[in-house]
Amino acid sequence: MSYKVEILTPSPIYDPYIEYYKNVITDAEGTFKCVPNTSEELYFNFKKCKLYSNNHYVLDDPKVYFAGLHPYEQEAFARLGNDVSGGFVIVFRPNGIQNLFGLSNSELFGYAIDGKTIFRSFAEEIWLSLKESDDIHLKKAKVESFLLSYVKCGRSPNTLLNYILELIKKENGILSTAEISRQFNISTRSLERKFRNYIGLSPKEFLQITRLNHALELIQNQQNFSLTRISYLSGYYDQSHFIKDIEKICGFPPGALKRDVQPQEHCDNRNFLKLS
């Protein structure tokens, strides 16, 4: 199983909304459990797939779709076909989708939604245009041309929130809400309200998801590290709490992941658990 990922940064006018673009080609197939993360994304998908989350959504072979943030305990799955293909993905800055397209957090939170609901017939047109090109730079140019009208009407991002999120990313989520409040001179109540309004998650849950994804990357990439060391490097001082959180979000204990009893896949900023 392999992934080829190319990364491009956005042009300056799109930088307030978009963190980067990625072009993915993979031969991955089967059913995967998707680990929640802190990135909202817009996919132009060229690979056969089915996306589903019980009582939330089912998308069969979507060509264009938005992936919103998922709550910590919500299970989401992807069933990939056996074709060698992939897609072109826009990885947004936190709240970038809302600022650019005017979508509310309630519309995306916990869901993946078909791009046709937002772009109508233009979704098919841009999808076909991107599918015809193998060059990531040309794909970027086509996407940015398509997004220009949205940028002209877009809202300015919340600067304070961006500084807070940059710190969380830099520290791999190994912070407390009290530390953030102190550093940015903001009350814990205001911090909670800002995250709920702009992100959809509480700051505590956002930190927890960030920490757990960091832990999963350590489990996969640092095979010589003990679970005790990984739990400490992930901000846990109680190993039993660390094990409980990994089991809760993955369905498997970290020991099973470390021994490859349950294969773990990592593609750029996302972690997946192969189920079948």
| Sequence-separated (6 or more) residues with CB below 8 Å from residue 177 | 188, 191, 192, 203, 204, 207
Give helix 203-221 / helix 188-198 axis angle, nearest 10°: 70
Decide if 53 contacts 77 (C-beta within 8 A): yes
In the numeric block, which tokens belong to residue 69? 């943030």
pLDDT tens track for 123-170:
999 999 999 988 999 999 999 999 999 998 878 777 888 899 989 999
Report the SS3 class of residue 71: coil
Distance CA 272, CA 216 (A): 10
Q: Are strands 64-67 and 112-114 parallel, antiparallel or unpaired?
A: antiparallel
Distance CA 176, CA 161 (A): 16
Q: How much is the pLDDT for 108?
A: 86
- The residues of the chain that CATH labels 1.10.10.60 are 159-260
Rounded to 5 degrees, φ, ψ at 43 are -105, 135
Alpha-carbon dihedral sign for residues 209, 57, 195, 160: positive
Strand partners, 112: 67
Q: How much is the pLDDT for 159?
A: 83
Strand partners, 273: 33, 264
Q: How much is the pLDDT for 196?
A: 86
Distance CA 159, CA 172 (A): 20
Distance CA 170, CA 183 (A): 14
**Could you give the percent of the chain with pLDDT greater than 90?**
61
Strand partners, 219: none
Residue 242 identity (one-letter amino acid)? F
Class of domain 159-260: mainly alpha
Q: How much is the pLDDT for 261?
A: 67
Q: What is the pLDDT along the chain (276 residues), one digit of tens a residue?
A: 688 999 999 999 999 999 999 999 999 999 999 999 999 999 999 999 999 998 899 999 999 999 999 988 899 999 999 999 999 999 998 788 888 998 877 778 899 999 998 898 899 999 999 999 889 999 999 999 999 999 988 787 778 888 999 899 999 999 999 999 999 999 999 999 989 888 888 999 999 999 999 999 998 888 888 889 999 999 988 888 999 988 888 888 888 887 776 678 888 889 998 888
Closest alpha carbon to 194 in 170, 166, 169, 162: 162
Distance CA 131, CA 184 (A): 44
CA distances to 6, 140, 189, 222 from 201, in Å: 29, 30, 14, 29
Q: Which CATH number fits domain 3-153: 2.60.40, 2.60.120, 1.10.1060, 3.90.75?
A: 2.60.120
Closest alpha carbon to 62 in 115, 104, 130, 8: 115
pTM above 0.85, yes or no: yes
- The residues of the chain that CATH labels 2.60.120 are 3-153
User: Could you tell me what percentage of the chain is helix, strand and coil, using 3-state DSSP and rounding each to the nearest 5?
Assistant: 45, 25, 35
Q: How much is the pLDDT for 237?
A: 84
